[in-house]
Structure 1
Amino acid sequence: MPDAAMESAFRPMPLTALVTTDYAGITRGRAIPTATYEADPARASTGWVPANLSLTPFDVIADPNPWGSRGDLRLKADPQARYRTTIPGAQTPFDCVMADIVALDGAPWPPCARGLLKAALADLEAESGLRLVCAFEHEFQILGAGWAPAPAFGLFALRRADPLGSVLAACLEEAGIAPETIIAEYGRDQFEITSAPADALVAADRAVATREIVREVALRLGLRASFAPKTAVEGVGNGVHVHMSLVHPDGRPASFDPAREGRLSDSMGAFLAGILRHAPALVALTAPAPISYLRLAPHHWSAAWTWLGDADREATLRICPTTTMGGRDPARQFNVEYRAADACAAPHLALAMLVRAGIEGMRARLPTPPIVDTDPATLSDAERASLGLARLPGSLSDALAALEADPVAAGFLPEAALETYLGMKRAEIAIAGETLDEALCARYAAIY
């Protein structure tokens, strides 16, 4: 057969990737032939290595680490968490399945980020009788597109990028991610994408798939998408806002109480109080890169204080607005977003920490935190103290120190997981260096 005929007859073999998102917020894994996966999805697994969890974003394994060169694990596919779509320009479908890291006999491996979230959610339901519903809201930028400037939030800013938005919407919908909005955001060539609320584990899985699909859609269109928290020192930051609400097992809302301040139920108020109590430690895992702290600063529309605000986009926890237009029920819309997060964080790990902190608040029956309706920077130290307002750490090193200084928050992680995380992050800091400059922003923009 002539070479041209052979080439025209050639068909790439579709692959299904079994993936895990590690402590560096990088989605890694191994692919197997799709036919092999589909022959027995419930038993699909592939090998994995403990030391992979100590990989920094720069693909250097932290040394020392708890694992060394020994040991073997498995990535066990969750057939309920498959995300598959046909991306124009790709020769094979995008096809990934979220996997749990397990021991060789299938038993849970305690440091697995997805396993940590599953365990936290099970404890939340066992102790409170409530489930958590979430949605991750992502901001990202297109780098080096060369587009003409366009007004922020403008229709032209979205249309000049066509077909980016429409292809993204189609691919995310086909993958089962239920996109709700795609907008041109405030920053230069910045976009925001939201999806419908779902059970918390599903929401975290969707967050992983969303990031990967956005990057590939952009790639196939000849573009570069980055979710890095800062792509330039003075640029607008890219956040990840985690929307949360509590529901009863039958789906009835459990966060909303119109008779209480902020319309927050006792349960939701205590859950949020737990998050704020441990927020200085939590940001070590929700804003986990050195450049994350260029964004977590006052007056950056992100978060800088342990602050509950009503519809205030500077608050770490923001009570989101509801509408009654068209007879809509506020209780079913009601949610609170956590704003001190970005896409350098692993969605499962970050959410697991938030859930654990919320459980602690519920166990202690903490009162709903004061709703602050003014800029904390304008208050005196005594006024901030009376409202429970503390400054979030100003650097990743400070955040890691806050995590170690908070035995409750540190205890949310198994001992080996904590050792791994601290070691990996300190290795990342050493590689990144002390200077938060344009070169470092560009380095993270290329990774995330």
Structure 2
Amino acid sequence: MNSQATRRGPGVAYLCWTDIVGMVRCRGVPESRLEKVRSTGLGWAAAGLALTTFEQPASNPWGPMSEVRQVPVPGTETHIDIWDDAPPLTMILCRALDQSGEPWDCCPRQFLATAIDEFHSLTGLTIHAAMEHEFTLLDTGFDETVSFSLEQMRRVATFLEDLSEALDQAKLDVETIEPEAGRRQYEISCGPAPALTAADRAVVAREIIREVARRRGYCATFSPKPFPGKIGSGAHLHFSFVNRAGENVTFDRNGPAMLSRSAAGFAGGVIRHLKALAPFYASSPVSYLRLGPSNWSCGYTSFGVQNREAALRVCPPPVIAGQDRHRSFNLEFRPLDATANPYLALGSLIRAGIAGIRGDLPAPRTLECDPASLSEADRRSMGIEALPSSLDTALSSLASDSLASSWMSANLNSVFHSVLTKEADLARPLSPEDLCRRYVRIY
């Protein structure tokens, strides 16, 4: 598509990082200067981590005095060049270093990296993960089509062709591009990768989807509830455990829910801390319009096999002659949405799993129905609780869980609560309709 494209001079490379509210922030440099900043990065006010989606920053420990370095991570550069009439997109993901050159204790990417290292030290295993990216197209010129239909795909066929080419250039190992249940809603699924790479892929995939949509005159929104009372969008996270030989060791045909001992303990930890995890996986006030009973996005601390109303579910492959079932066996975490920082979300999930393994927790009780169909007494007897119904209650749940609160450094804990509290405060006067309208263009 770009064989005749002409360039006026050096392009712009964007050094990118993701903050507490899931926004990709950046500084740009001419590509001719890129080599000069690869090792030293660019300065960024530490207080930038306190930005909200409402422009006003939250209170933070740094004010105008402290600065960190956003340093490019080798191997994370993405270059998309598929249009004759638009410049390429070059973006490089960064990690934050403090003034001494050490990893900043508030860097979200470092938060995940540390959790991964701790999990490996404890178990000798690595975590592989993949996200499904649900999004809605705005400004398409048509309103609704039938869910999951070919019509829904062909209405935006050129956009999807461009998207496929761009994602392929980015080497994101895309497995499916498909229509979804909501109006003008679509989903991209990437293949599994080591957890840190999986989080990197999530950041890059969303920005490529947004970029391709812009080039076609659309707006791609990942808002968890773009329209009040309509289908929401999630970012379901699939994960499994891999040993040194590269084998998936999540599966045990004789284990509870077919889980290996480490996977069972991990699942037990996730469910035990699930309410406290809510600000990490549902980081926006609008997230809580999506979460709820019987929405296929889960509203309770429940666990199941193939149960799409469970917050954490086992996804066993079908029994097919000659197929080794352990290869693609995985767990799916369903409450996550794209307002969350993927590094903080995945890092906190791993920390909860580590706590479960260390405590030798059993696998959670398997639920074989929609938890909303049970009486309150039955749910109570099974240890199933409602998830937080607002960002305020989610933050309270985190604050009341001393172990979950300890996973962050003191500074990160402080600014995390400050940012999300301010986000909740500023959104509180809004009606559900205004809340959806407020966030639909941001995400």
Equivalence for 2:203: 208
Is contact 2:145–2:151 with CA below 8 Å preserved after alignment? yes
Q: Are residues 189 and 331 of structure 1, via their aligned partners in 2, closer, same or farther at CA, if it must alter by over 3 Å?
A: same
1:258-269 to structure 2, matched below 5 A, reads 258-269=253-264
Is contact 2:256–2:264 with CA below 8 Å preserved after alignment? no
Residue 14 of structure 2, aligned match among 7, 14, 17: 17
1:175 corresponds to 2:165: no
Is contact 1:12–1:92 with CA below 8 Å preserved after alignment? no
1:190 corresponds to 2:185: yes
How far off its partner does 1:164 sit? 1.5
1:257-406 to structure 2, matched below 5 A, reads 257-325=252-320, 327-406=322-401
How far off its partner does 1:89 sit? 5.5
1:225 maps to a residue whose letter is A
Q: Are residues 173 and 380 of structure 1, via their aligned partners in 2, closer, same or farther at CA, if it must alter by over 3 Å?
A: same
1:28-427 to structure 2, matched below 5 A, reads 28-38=25-35, 41=38, 43-62=39-58, 64-88=59-83, 91-147=86-142, 149-325=144-320, 327-427=322-422
Is contact 2:139–2:217 with CA below 8 Å preserved after alignment? no
1:23 maps to a residue whose letter is I
Give me the whole-angstrom Cα distance separating, in 2, the residues matched to 1:252 and 1:161: 39
How far off its partner does 1:188 sit? 0.3
How far off its partner does 1:33 sit? 2.2
What's the RMSD between the two structures over aligned residues?
A: 1.6
2:141 maps to a residue whose letter is G
Is contact 1:403–1:410 with CA below 8 Å preserved after alignment? yes
How far off its partner does 1:271 sit? 0.5
Equivalence for 1:5: none
Is contact 2:317–2:325 with CA below 8 Å preserved after alignment? yes
How far off its partner does 1:260 sit? 1.9
1:446 corresponds to 2:427: no
Give me the whole-angstrom Cα distance separating, in 1, the residues matched to 2:305 and 2:222: 27
Give me the whole-angstrom Cα distance separating, in 2, the residues matched to 1:368 and 1:20: 35
Q: Are residues 375 and 323 of structure 1, via their aligned partners in 2, closer, same or farther at CA, if it must alter by over 3 Å?
A: closer
Give me the whole-angstrom Cα distance separating, in 2, the residues matched to 1:386 and 1:305: 14
Is contact 2:307–2:369 with CA below 8 Å preserved after alignment? no
Q: In the TM superposition, what whole-angstrom CA distance separates every residue of 1:312-371 from its partner, at most 9, and x where no partner exists? A: 111100211313447432211011111111110011111110010010001001001111
1:407 maps to a residue whose letter is S
Give me the whole-angstrom Cα distance separating, in 2, the residues matched to 1:203 and 1:443: 29
Is contact 1:233–1:436 with CA below 8 Å preserved after alignment? no
Q: Any unmatched runs of 5+ in structure 1? A: 1-7
Q: Are residues 186 and 71 of structure 1, via their aligned partners in 2, closer, same or farther at CA, if it must alter by over 3 Å?
A: same
Q: Any unmatched runs of 5+ in structure 2? A: none
Is contact 2:10–2:32 with CA below 8 Å preserved after alignment? no
Is contact 2:292–2:299 with CA below 8 Å preserved after alignment? yes
The 3-state SS of whatever aligns with 2:236 is: strand
How far off its partner does 1:98 sit? 1.1
Aligned length: 439
1:212 maps to a residue whose letter is E
Q: Are residues 16 and 367 of structure 1, via their aligned partners in 2, closer, same or farther at CA, if it must alter by over 3 Å?
A: same
The 3-state SS of whatever aligns with 1:345 is: coil
Q: Are residues 365 and 426 of structure 1, via their aligned partners in 2, closer, same or farther at CA, if it must alter by over 3 Å?
A: same
Q: Are residues 158 and 318 of structure 1, via their aligned partners in 2, closer, same or farther at CA, if it must alter by over 3 Å?
A: same
How far off its partner does 1:429 sit? 1.4
Give me the whole-angstrom Cα distance separating, in 1, the residues matched to 2:275 and 2:435: 24
How far off its partner does 1:148 sit? 5.7
Q: In the TM superposition, what whole-angstrom CA distance separates every residue of 1:385-443 from its partner, at most 9, and x where no partner exists? A: 33221110111100000000000111111111011011111111122223342222121
Give me the whole-angstrom Cα distance separating, in 1, the residues matched to 2:143 and 2:421: 40
Give me the whole-angstrom Cα distance separating, in 1, the residues matched to 2:143 and 2:7: 41
Q: Are residues 136 and 294 of structure 1, via their aligned partners in 2, closer, same or farther at CA, if it must alter by over 3 Å?
A: same
Give me the whole-angstrom Cα distance separating, in 1, the residues matched to 2:125 and 2:284: 32
Is contact 1:13–1:92 with CA below 8 Å preserved after alignment? no
The 3-state SS of whatever aligns with 1:135 is: strand
Residue 429 of structure 2, aligned match among 431, 434, 439: 434
Is contact 1:208–1:347 with CA below 8 Å preserved after alignment? yes
Q: TM-score, normalised by structure 2?
A: 0.96
How far off its partner does 1:106 sit? 1.8
Give me the whole-angstrom Cα distance separating, in 1, the residues matched to 2:297 and 2:112: 24
Q: Percent identity among equivalent residues?
A: 38
1:296 maps to a residue whose letter is L
